[in-house]
Structure 1
Amino acid sequence: MGTILLATDGSEYARQAAKRAIEFAEEQGETLHVICVVDQRRFDSPALSSAELATIYAEDNAALCVKEVAEMAEGSNVRVEGDSKHGIPHEVILDYADEVDADVIFIGEHGDHKGHFSGVGRKVLKESEEEVRVVGVES
């Protein structure tokens, strides 16, 4: 197995996916790449308005989501490399998977987004050329 990617949004499902991805990365002796996407449909570029605060919050939250996974991996032999980006979540996840040459993508069954699995996770599963492991809270 090669490169491992985790898509996170900080939700409980994403935390469960992170646990699974960290375990898998440790078993495989691989680096865990982490991406958190600020959905540009909800949070566009700041423009000196009330939406600016929401966008800044979303950006900070995305960075914290990546940091949380790195903290979860402390004490394991897993190196975590992460990033947060703006865009349409499933598109950014798939682009990032190509960028890091991922072989497997971990994603939570439901997310912080309102679309649940019918949204981001389903699109990643449907459109990905890589193996996708969808993790539920009970998994």
Structure 2
Amino acid sequence: MFDTILLPTDGSEHARAAAETGIDLAAAHDAAVHVACVADTGPLGDLRLPGDAASAEDAIRGQAQEYVDAIVERADAAGLAVTGTVLDGPPEEALLEYAREIDADLIVMGTRGRGGVHRMALGSVTDHVIRFGDIPVFVANSESQSE
């Protein structure tokens, strides 16, 4: 049923839990796995780390690559065909574009379960992917994911 599954990650516990679900689904369907993290190097991303913008961008990209590598390692250990990549741009748009590029059959994402003011102020990448994508999205949300 699924040939290609996209596992986006931001390094959070929620994303790691969703990746485990995605790896299990991929194993059950003998699907290829693509792991992606969007390096948030926009204006707010640059403020997270000290130093000049170039070194901050390098640090953000390095951290994103570490997040990807951890899930790639897990998928590889499960015997799956796996590819990892770090993307650029607004996360929701970058993920949807990449999903189309790899012809993903399914996106498996985590959610923090934010609502109300948090969601209005911060938005939701998962919500955007669900609402504006044309690819099925499996959302993994556990009771331990409330903030």
Question: Number of aligned pairs?
Answer: 133
Structure with greater helix percent: 2
Does the 8 Å contact 2:33/2:75 carry over to 1? no
- RCO greater where, 1 or 2, for CA within 8 Å and sep 6 or more? 1
Does the 8 Å contact 1:39/1:87 carry over to 2? yes
Structure 1 residues 94-113: aligned runs within 5 Å = 94-110=96-112
Alpha-carbon distance between aligned partners in 2 of 1:33 and 1:20, rounded to the nearest angstrom: 14
- Structure 1 residue 126 and structure 2 residue 128: aligned? no
Structure 1 residues 1-139: aligned runs within 5 Å = 1-41=2-42, 42-43=44-45, 50-110=52-112, 118-138=123-143
Moved >6 Å (runs of 4+): 114-117
Unmatched runs of 5 consecutive residues or more in structure 2? 114-118
More off after superposition, 69-78 vs 91-100: 69-78
Scaled by the length of structure 1, the TM-score of the pair is 0.85
Over aligned residues, Cα RMSD in angstroms? 2.4
Scaled by the length of structure 2, the TM-score of the pair is 0.81
Larger Rg: 2
